[in-house]
Structure 1
Amino acid sequence: MSINLIEAQNESWSNFCKYHVGDWHGNWTTFSSEGQLTNSIQCIRSFRLNEDGTEIQHHNHYTYEDGKKESKLYGNYNKSTLRSLFLKNCFSWGLKQVDSGTKFFFETGFRYEQRRISVVGIYKNGISIDSVLVISEHIADFPDKPTSTVKQITGINWNGISKTITDDYQVSSSEEKIWTALESLGIDYFTMHFSDGISISCPQVIEKGQHFLTVIDWQVLPTFWQRGIRKYDQSGFSSLTLEEFHKPQ
Structure 2
Amino acid sequence: MASQWERLLQNLGEWQGSFTRLSPTGELQEDTPTVVSLEGLDNNHTIRQIIRRLPPGQPPDEKVLEYSSLGKSVLFFENGSFSQGSIQLAPFSEFGAELGLIDGNRRLRLVQIFNRDGQLDKVTLIREKLAGSDVPERPHLTLDQLIGEWQGEAVTIYPDYRSPDTYSTKLKVDYEESGNIIQQLSFGDRIFTSTARMNGNILRFEQGSLPVQVLFLPDGASCNCPLQVKTGQSFVLEVGWLLKPDLRQRMIRRYSDKGEWISLTLVTERKV
Normalising by the residue count of structure 2, what TM-score does the alignment of the two structures yield? Answer: 0.79
For residue 255 of structure 2, the aligned residue among 225, 232, 239 is: 232
1:147/1:168 Cα in 2 relative to 1: closer, same or farther (>3 Å)?
A: closer
Q: How does 1:23-172 map to 2 (within 5 A)?
A: 23-78=14-69, 80-81=70-71, 83-89=73-79, 90-140=81-131, 151-152=142-143, 153-172=145-164
Structure that is richer in strand per residue: 2
Which residue in the other structure is 1:4 paired with? none
> What does the per-residue CA deviation read over 1:113-148, in whole Å, with 9 as the maximum and x for residues that have no partner?
100001111112250001210000001159799798
Q: Kindly indicate whether the alpha-carbon contact (under 8 Å) linking 2:154 and 2:267 is maintained by their aligned counterparts in 1.
A: yes
Report the CA distance between 1:53 and its aligned residue.
2.3
Which residue in the other structure is 1:245 paired with? 269
1:81/1:121 Cα in 2 relative to 1: closer, same or farther (>3 Å)?
A: closer
Which residue in the other structure is 2:220 paired with? 197
Report the CA distance between 1:63 and its aligned residue.
0.6
Which residue in the other structure is 1:217 paired with? 240
> What does the per-residue CA deviation read over 1:10-57, in whole Å, with 9 as the maximum and x for residues that have no partner?
52221111x211111121111101221101101111111124222212
Which residue in the other structure is 2:8 paired with? 16
5+ residue gaps, structure 2: 174-180, 184-193, 195-204
Report the CA distance between 1:81 and its aligned residue.
3.9
1:242/1:150 Cα in 2 relative to 1: closer, same or farther (>3 Å)?
A: closer
| Cα distance between partner residues in 1 of 2:61 and 2:112 | 23
- Which AA in structure 1 matches 2:115? K
| Cα distance between partner residues in 1 of 2:215 and 2:95 | 19
1:243/1:61 Cα in 2 relative to 1: closer, same or farther (>3 Å)?
A: same
Q: Kindly indicate whether the alpha-carbon contact (under 8 Å) linking 2:21 and 2:29 is maintained by their aligned counterparts in 1.
A: yes
Higher alpha-carbon Rg: 2
Report the CA distance between 1:237 and its aligned residue.
0.6
Report the CA distance between 1:209 and its aligned residue.
4.5
Q: Kindly indicate whether the alpha-carbon contact (under 8 Å) linking 1:25 and 1:143 is maintained by their aligned counterparts in 2.
A: no
Report the CA distance between 1:58 and its aligned residue.
1.6
| Cα distance between partner residues in 2 of 1:190 and 1:93 | 21
| Cα distance between partner residues in 2 of 1:221 and 1:55 | 35
CA RMSD of aligned residues (A): 2.5
5+ residue gaps, structure 1: 1-6
Report the CA distance between 1:174 and its aligned residue.
1.8
Amino-acid identity (%):
24
1:13/1:126 Cα in 2 relative to 1: closer, same or farther (>3 Å)?
A: farther
1:171/1:242 Cα in 2 relative to 1: closer, same or farther (>3 Å)?
A: farther
Structure that is richer in helix per residue: 1
